[in-house]
Amino acid sequence: MIQTVSESPQSAKSNSQRSVSLLTGPKYPVCGQVRDADNALWDVRDVRPTKHGFDIYYGSPDRAHDTHHGGPLRLIVTKALRDFWWDNRLESHGFLFDLPAGRTTLKRARNRLKFNHRDDVREFWTERIDDLATLPIGEFAAKHGVDKILAFDWRFRLVGQRARPLGWWRTPETLKILLSSMSLSQVGRELGIGISHAFRLRRRAKEEESE
């Protein structure tokens, strides 16, 4: 008897259903089948739930449900696993490897998928460098779903002291920050400038507002 259930998708970008065919009955050593990220069919022999809403599968390439002929089972790199790593590529290694599988096994799987944490993180910020250079830090963080302090750090790394357009601080969004009740350190973090620079710009903004 073959029963079909849906593998829970991790990626919010795709609502497609990935199916697993489960074989029931005591004479079958295979507990199901699943396709990997390259659409190859695998026999599932071990299912390990994760805390992230999808399962980790171990097994062997499809052999028409023959019995397993020995040797260690292999991690099946499913689309759900690949999507989990892609969607969370900015997270720390502690989060990325928080899965019911050996760390070495997971590292090898990531290497096969061409994931590199350092390169992935830098690529994320580099792709957004225009916003990083021009938007207030708070606005950038909200738009791209990142932490303000992290955005400030990457602005300094990638943009540095690059000159901004003359009068950049006179935009309504920036003036709102300068004239707010925020502390100078908060203003500096929001705008990606030092405290002394924030002090000077706040003073000029107040002077122009009173004219």
| Overall number of domains in the chain | 2
Q: Assess whether 16 and 113 both reside in one domain.
A: yes
Q: Assess whether 113 and 145 both reside in one domain.
A: no
Q: Which of 3-12, 53-62, 177-186 has the least mean pLDDT?
A: 3-12
Q: Assess whether 71 and 159 both reside in one domain.
A: no
- Comparing 73 with 14, the larger pLDDT belongs to 73
Predicted pLDDT of residue 103: 92
Average pLDDT of the chain to the nearest whole number: 79
Q: Assess whether 10 and 114 both reside in one domain.
A: yes
Task: Report whether pLDDT(4) > 60.
Answer: no
- Comparing 185 with 161, the larger pLDDT belongs to 185
Task: Report whether pLDDT(162) > 70.
Answer: no
Whether 128 maps to a domain, the answer reads: no
Whether 130 maps to a domain, the answer reads: no
Q: Assess whether 93 and 157 both reside in one domain.
A: no
Task: Report whether pLDDT(97) > 60.
Answer: yes
Q: Assess whether 107 and 19 both reside in one domain.
A: yes
Mean pLDDT of 52-56: 94
Q: Which domain holds residue 163?
A: 136-210
Q: Which of 19-23, 27-31, 35-39, 89-93 has the least mean pLDDT?
A: 19-23
- Residue 168 confidence class, pLDDT cut points 50, 70, 90: confident
SS3 assignment for the chain: CEEEEEECCCCCCCCCCEEEEEECCCCCCCCEEEECCCCCEEEEEEEEECCCCCEEEEEEECCCCCCCCCCCCEEECCHHHHHHHHHCCCCCHHHHCCCCCCHHHHHHHHHHCCCCHHHHHHHHHHHCHHHHHHCCHHHHHHHHCCCHHHHHHHHHHHCCCCCCCCCHHHCHHHHHHHCCCCCHHHHHHHHCCCHHHHHHHHHHHHHHHHC
Q: Assess whether 173 and 112 both reside in one domain.
A: no
Q: Assess whether 105 and 21 both reside in one domain.
A: yes
Q: Assess whether 21 and 110 both reside in one domain.
A: yes
Mean pLDDT of 90-110: 91
Predicted pLDDT of residue 23: 40
Whether 205 maps to a domain, the answer reads: yes
Predicted pLDDT of residue 25: 38
